[in-house]
Amino acid sequence: MSKYDVIVLGSGPGGYVTAIRASQLGLKTAIVEKENLGGVCLNWGCIPTKALLKSAQVFEYLKHAEDYGLKVKDYDKDFDAVVKRSRSVADGMSKGVQFLMKKNKIDVIEGFGKLKTGKKLDVTDKDGKTTEYSADHIIIATGARSRELPSLPQDGKKVIGYREAMTLPKQPKKMIVVGSGAIGVEFAYFYKSMGTEVTIVEFLPSIVPVEDADVSKQLERSFKKSGMKIMTSAEVTKVDTSGDGVKATVKTKKGEEVLEADIVLSAVGIKTNIENIGLEDVGIAVDRDKILVNDYYQTNIPGYYAIGDVTPGQALAHVASAEGILCVEKIAGMHVEALDYGNIPGCTYCTPEVASVGLTEAQAKEQGYELKVGKFPFSASGKAKAGGNADGFVKVIFDAKYGEWLGCHMIGAGVTDMIAEAVVARKLETTGHEVLKAVHPHPTMSEAVMEAVADAYDEVIHL
């Protein structure tokens, strides 16, 4: 039986980052993975979807070349080639993680891991052989998968999840996307840009429902402008896959409507991968599909930890990585501060992009703050206009009494690369006046942050 200081179960952006940090801290480390290093994020999520979205964006540029004074006579898309490029990018990233494992002297154990009592786990390889391992600290990072609704069972062909959406053998003419969170709107944008007729069906009253109301309204306007159909306060109650395509029955306030499509993409959230990994055998506490942990990701059983999507925090790659680093630094005896889940940025990579951190305006009002709210549209930004990216805005929310930056909400080109300014500023407890007096470069998209702050304090120049 092999003995380690740390064994990490799962190699997604939580698991592999945790393993690397553990090794850096001098801990003998192994990682267990049943499929591909990098997990869903690198292989079937964050990275390959961004490759698809980039192809869609380039195709959009070609379609609008004349807007930039350019003439492109012959251009077309090759759907297979777009998918192949995405898979190539994912494969390259997974190989990169393999290199990092070797570089950091981390043992990679291939197979399905199952926890046992006494800080042990069994790993069964593809040939069915089971080997026992032990460690002083076992960290669960098994992630999540596409959630299935009883009314929307996935068959992998006509009713699909995100994995199948990335590798369809041919481009559908019509697609229904159920759910308008990050996964739903990213795929809706991709397929619409490539020429598919797309309808989004959202159960709640607005798309991207976790975002600020102004952002939701702007994205809906942008999507409708592109020709996408949006149905909010709507529910798919059943699907019929018996014919050539799919018939989806959608319940709305006006009654029932039957939509026809080639494919239905179910993007209604995620389901944690906690089945059959031995949680019950060890006695690890679970509540509503999540493993219960303390501020340092310790479960109720000493020596067992959990990070990432399987825990109650936000199901985001960067959250899983941060949790894993904090977890092993605590194990190594370092002084660490608990993660501030109120300062986690969220990013959605459709066009226009969406990025946010902190409280929405509605949440801030509910908490009783007196607010200063500023908003700067990209239509007033020189850089945005020059780049042909005038859709969207930056919105900032401050506590009027103390100047605390309560929230920042962006929609527009490249805003996912801009949101970190607000995250760092909020971490440093920066006030609105400090942001306003920090000189921002011109012409840039990022100066819209300064302009939005200026608007909050009635000092805006370019609006």
Any idea what DSSP says for residue 299?
A: -
Distance from C-alpha of 211 to C-alpha of 218, rounded to nearest angstrom:
11
Any idea what DSSP says for residue 209?
A: T
Query: In whole angstroms, how large is the CA radius of gyration of the chain?
Result: 24
What are the beta bridge partners of residue 234?
none
Any idea what DSSP says for residue 92?
A: H
Residue 442 among the catalytic residues: yes
Residue 60 burial (C-beta neighbours within 10 Å; 0-12, 13-18, 19+): middle
Any idea what DSSP says for residue 215?
A: H
141-177 CB burial, b ≥16 within 10 A, e <16: bbbbbbbebebbebeeebbbbbbbbbebeebbebbbb
Distance from C-alpha of 207 to C-alpha of 229, rounded to nearest angstrom:
12
Pure H helices in 308-441: 317-331, 361-366, 382-386, 420-427, 432-437
Catalytic residue among 64, 318, 335, 442: 442
Asked whether 412 and 392 are in contact (CB, 8 A), the reply is yes
Residues with catalytic roles: 442
